[in-house]
Structure 1
Amino acid sequence: QIPFFTDIETAKAEASKTKMPIIIDFYADTTWCESCRQLDSLTLGDSLVIAMSAENVFVKINAETDSALAARYGVRGYPTIIIAKSDGTEIDRIEGFIDPYEFYNQVNLFLQGKETLDDYLTRLEDEPDNPEYLLTIAEKYLGRAQSEKAIEYYHRVMALDPDNRRGYTSKSLQGVYSALTLSKDYKTAIETCQDIIKRFPTSPEADDATAMLGYFTALSGDGKAALALYRDYLQKYPEGRNKWVQRRVADLEEKL
C-alpha cells in the first residue's frame, strides 16, 4: 500500500528533505463519491502506482474536512489529484477517476514539464491562434478555479470558430458557464445555457445546457421552476446523457 501522509505540512517537510515531488489526493466521503472509491481501489491500490511512492511523497486529504486546503488549491470536484513541487507549488492536476496506467503516464509527463499549463502557455507563444492550445489552457485555468483567466481564453477560442463549425464555440460556452458557477453568477450562467440552446441546438453541449438550466435555477433558489426545467429536459432528451437529472427530480418532488 501507499504510505500516505495526511497532513500537508508534514508531507512538505518530507518532500523537502528527500527532494521528491508531492502527489496530493483530494477526496470526499466514499459513501457518495463513487469516483473516489474507484480511484482508491483500482488506481491507488495498483502495484504500478504503489511503486511510485518510492520517488514521490503521497498525501491523502479529505477535502470536506480540510476545506481550507482544498480552497487554497482551487479544488472544485472529487477526486482531484494535485502534482506539486516539494514546496507544495502546483505543477498540474488530474480531475476525476483515471486508471493506473493513465495515472502513471500523466504524472510522469507532468513531472517532465509536459502537458502542463506552463507547457501549453509556452507552445502558444509559437502558435497564438491554435484553438486546441487555447481550449486546453482555458480548461486548466478552470480546473484551478481561476474563472476570469478561463473565460478570457474561452473567448479567444470562440473568436476563432464563431459559427461553431469545429464545435469549439459550444464547448467554450459550456466552459464559460462552468466558470461563472465559481463566482455564483447564476443569472449569466443561465443566459449562457440559453445561448447554447438557441444557437447550437443540435450540439452535444445543448443537451448539457438544457440540464444545467434546472441546476442553475435551483442554485438561484427557485426549486419549483428548477423542477419544471428538469422535467422539460427529461421530455426533450429521454435518452440524454445527464442521468443525474432524474435524481434531482426525485429530490425536488420529495421536498416541494
Structure 2
Amino acid sequence: MDAETFTDDRIIELAKKFIPIKVNPEDQEHPENIEAVRRYQVTGFPTIVFASSDGGMIAKQVGFIYPNDFAPVIETALEKEQAFVEQLAKLEKTPDDAKLNAQVALTYLERTQLEKSLPFSKKAFEHDPKNKTGLIPNLHNQLAVTYATEVEAAMVRAPEEAEMYFEKAVFHFRTVIDKYPKSDAKDPAQYYLGVTYAIKGEFDDAIAVLEKLIHHTSDANIKQNAEAMLERVKDLASSH
C-alpha cells in the first residue's frame, strides 16, 4: 500500500484530514503497539484504523485496497465522524433524550470506548424503562458483548477484573433474556451468554443455556451457530 495506494494524489489529499501513525505490532520495545492491536481488534495485516482524537475507532479497513476503492472508505469515515459530532451537539441541548443517549452509547461501544459509553447507557436505561426507543435490548447486548470480550483478555493478567467483567456481561445478557423476551435481541443474548460461560470455563452453565436456545429459537442461523458452539463446549468440558 505504501507504493501504490498511499502515493495516490486523491488519497494524499484526503489523508491530510488525519494524522497518520504507522504501528509495528512486532516491535517489542513499544508495548503500546500491542495494546493498539488488542484495542482495535486487529486480526490481519495491513489494517488501517481511522481513529478520533480521543482514540475511538471510527472505521477499520483490513487488507490491501486500491486507491479508487480506498478513497470512499476515507470519505465514509469522515462522514461518520461528522455525524457523531453533530449527534453529541444535539445531546447537549437535550441531555435527557433517551434515544439520543442510547445512540451515543452504542456509537461509543462501536468505537471500542466502553467507559465513555457508560454514562449515556445509564441515562438511556433510566429514561426508557419500557424500551419505547426500541434500542434498549440491543444496548444491553452490546454492553454485554464488550464486557465478555474483556473477560478472556483479563483472565491471565487480572483475574479479579475478569470476574468483574464476567458478572457485568452476564447481568446485561440476563436483562435482555428476562426483561425483553419478545425482542429480536433475546436469542443473540442467549447465544452469547452461553459463549461467555464457556470462556469463563463454566461449561455446565454454557451447555444448559445453549441447549435451551436450540430448543426454542426459530432463527435457523442462530440455531446452527448454537449447535456448533454446543459441540465445542462439550468437547472442552470433556477434556477438563
Short-chain TM bin: 0.5 to 0.7
Matched, 1:160 2:127: yes
State the one-letter code of the partner of 2:183: S
Matched, 1:221 2:218: no
Q: Which structure is higher in strand share?
A: 1
CA drift at 1:61? 6.2
Q: Which structure is higher in helix share?
A: 2
**Would the aligned equivalents of 2:106 and 2:139 in 1 still touch at CA under 8 Å?**
no
Structure 1 residue aligned with 2:143: 176
**Would the aligned equivalents of 1:76 and 1:143 in 2 still touch at CA under 8 Å?**
no
Matched, 1:127 2:80: no
**Would the aligned equivalents of 1:137 and 1:150 in 2 still touch at CA under 8 Å?**
yes
**Would the aligned equivalents of 1:124 and 1:130 in 2 still touch at CA under 8 Å?**
yes
Structure 2 residue aligned with 1:249: 230
Call closer, same or farther: CA 1:245–1:4 in 2, change over 3 Å: farther
TM-score, scaled relative to structure 1: 0.63
Structure 1 residue aligned with 2:187: 207
CA drift at 1:159? 2.0
Which structure has the higher relative contact order (CA within 8 Å, separation 6+)?
Answer: 1
Measured against aligned partners, the alpha-carbon deviations of 1:56-106 in whole angstroms (never above 9, x if no partner) come to 287786879988425247324657752248xx8647512588x95862541
CA drift at 1:218? 1.0
Distance 1:234 1:64 in 2: 42
Q: Which residues of structure 1 form unaligned runs of 5+?
A: 6-14, 19-49
| Count of matched residue positions in the alignment of Structure 1 and Structure 2 | 207
Structure 2 residue aligned with 1:106: 76
SS of aligned partner of 1:201: coil
What fraction of aligned residue pairs are identical, expressed as a percent?
A: 17
Structure 2 residue aligned with 1:53: 11
State the one-letter code of the partner of 2:203: G
TM-score, scaled relative to structure 2: 0.67
Q: Name the Cα RMSD after superposition.
A: 3.9
SS of aligned partner of 1:235: helix
Q: Which residues of structure 2 form unaligned runs of 5+?
A: 151-160
SS of aligned partner of 1:3: coil
**Would the aligned equivalents of 1:217 and 1:223 in 2 still touch at CA under 8 Å?**
yes
SS of aligned partner of 1:204: coil
